[in-house]
Amino acid sequence: MKKIKIIYLLFFASLMAACSHIDEADQLIYVAPDIVEECPPNSALRNVLLEDFTGQQCVNCPRGTKVIEQLQEAYADRLIAVGIHGGPLGFKGNAAAIGLATDLGDTYYNHWQLEYQPVGLVDRHGAVNYTDWFTAVREELAKPSKVSMQAEASISNGQVSVSIKTECLDGTYNGMLQVWLLEDGITATQKRHDPIDNDNTTINDKNYLHNHVLRTAVNGTWGEALSVAANEPATKTYQLPLDAAWVSTNLSIVAFVYNDSGVEQAIKANITIKE
């Protein structure tokens, strides 16, 4: 028993001496940008899909949006963010206020068994807290992809036309092709801290600007099956009617291919208006 006591006391003495106070000037460590701009043969640069599960009643969600803005500034088009409104903190609207949550958003939220908001899926490798999005996006960007994609979309005569070309660069890719329609620049209510980093004050911001909001799925909730072999690109086209609630100049489409291993490639294209 005496030996045990001595071992215990030595152990605790060493832990008590282990103090790691970090001065303000030393709290951040610079890490050089790690953007892969060349990829191995038979592969393409990967764009990363970030599905942001958000809600207008979620006070912390604008913090997730702030992370997305920083990621977009750093990685431009290679980061494709989609705001999926739904879940318990989503708002479907009423006579007085615009709601951005959809049944589609609820379906995705429940399917992925998400528990909190904001939370994200980065290339569909499981739920990621918004504070970890930087790390997860950085890791995904470093991986080459075996699929390359091209997308075109236009509006003509009240119809949105979409064309997606998918090419496999190595072997065969089997998965699903999903196409979504997004809208930027929607002014609607949002609960948030004021300022965003301050926990102690909460406001209902009626003039909050919502970007990259998922409006609808172009080709079904889970997309359609796709199998592409090397040097045999596949092109899929879709049409859907333009909803009067959408501002056509702010619309874009996002297309991505995925399977049980996650999202392999994603692409975003603005919609051109051909009236």
Partner 1 sequence: MRNKHLHAKAACCLCFFVFIAITATAQEQQDIHLSGSIQSDMLFSTQDAKDGSAQKHDFLTNTYADVMLQSQYVDAGTRLEYMEKPLPGFENDFKGWGVPHFWVKGKLSKAELTAGTFYEQFGSGFILRSYEERSLGIDNSLLGARLVLKPLKGVTVKMLSGKQRHYWKWDGGLVSGADAELSLDEWLPTLSQHETRLSLGGSWVNKYEKDEDIFVDPTHRLNLPKYVNAWDVRANLNRGPWGLLAEYAQKTQDPSFDNNYSYANGHVAMLSGSYSAKGMSVLLQAKRSENMSFRSQRNRLGTSMFINHLPAFTLDHTYTLAALYPYATQLAAGEWAYQTEVGYNFKRKTALGGKYGMNVKVNYSYVRAIQSAWLKWGSDTYYQDLNIQLTRRLARDIKLNFMYMNQRYNKTVIEGEGELIHSNIFVADALFQLARNTKLRTELQYLTTRQDQHDWAFALAELSLAPHWMVTVSDLWNHGDTKKHYYLGQVTYNIGAHRIQMGYGRTRAGYNCSGGVCRFVPETEGITLAYNYNF
Peptide bond into 88 cis (omega under 30): no
Does residue 255 touch partner 1 according to CB under 8 A?
no
Residue 84 and residue 214 in contact, taking contact as beta carbons nearer than 8 Å: yes
Q: What is the rounded distance in angstroms from the CA atom of residue 52 to the CA atom of residue 48?
A: 12
Does residue 96 touch partner 1 according to CB under 8 A?
no
Does residue 207 touch partner 1 according to CB under 8 A?
no
Measured from the CB atom, the residue of 16 and 245 that comes closer to partner 1 is 16
Measured from the CB atom, the residue of 4 and 245 that comes closer to partner 1 is 4
Stretch 119-148 residues interacting with partner 1 (CB under 8 A): 129, 131-132, 134-135, 138
Among the listed residues 89, 182, 186, 263, the single contact to partner 1 using CB under 8 A: 89
Count of beta carbons in the 10 Å neighbourhood of residue 30: 4
Count of beta carbons in the 10 Å neighbourhood of residue 63: 16
Rounded to a whole number of angstroms, the minimum distance from the CB of residue 222 to partner 1 is: 18
CA 46 distance to own-chain centroid: 14
What would you report as the CA-atom Rg of the chain, rounded to the nearest whole angstrom? 22
Tell me how many degrees the CA angle 209-95-157 measures, rounded to the nearest 5: 65
Rounded to a whole number of angstroms, the minimum distance from the CB of residue 22 to partner 1 is: 6
Q: What single-letter DSSP state applies at residue 77?
A: G
Stretch 162-201 residues interacting with partner 1 (CB under 8 A): 191, 197, 199-201
Stretch 22-61 residues interacting with partner 1 (CB under 8 A): 22, 24, 26-33, 55, 57-60
E-assigned strands of 169-218?
172-183, 186-193, 202-210, 213-217
DSSP helix/strand/coil, 12:
helix
Using CA atoms, how far residue 272 sits from 2, 154, 201, 211, 269, in Å, is 81, 5, 42, 18, 9
Does residue 11 touch partner 1 according to CB under 8 A?
yes
Measured from the CB atom, the residue of 18 and 245 that comes closer to partner 1 is 18
Measured from the CB atom, the residue of 10 and 209 that comes closer to partner 1 is 10
Does residue 3 touch partner 1 according to CB under 8 A?
no
Which stretch in 5-13, 176-184, 215-223, 228-236 sits in contact with partner 1 by CB under 8 A?
A: 5-13
Binding site for partner 1 (CB under 8 A): 1, 4-5, 8-9, 11-12, 15-16, 18-22, 24, 26-33, 55, 57-60, 63, 70-71, 73-75, 88-89, 106, 110, 113, 115-116, 129, 131-132, 134-135, 138, 191, 197, 199-202
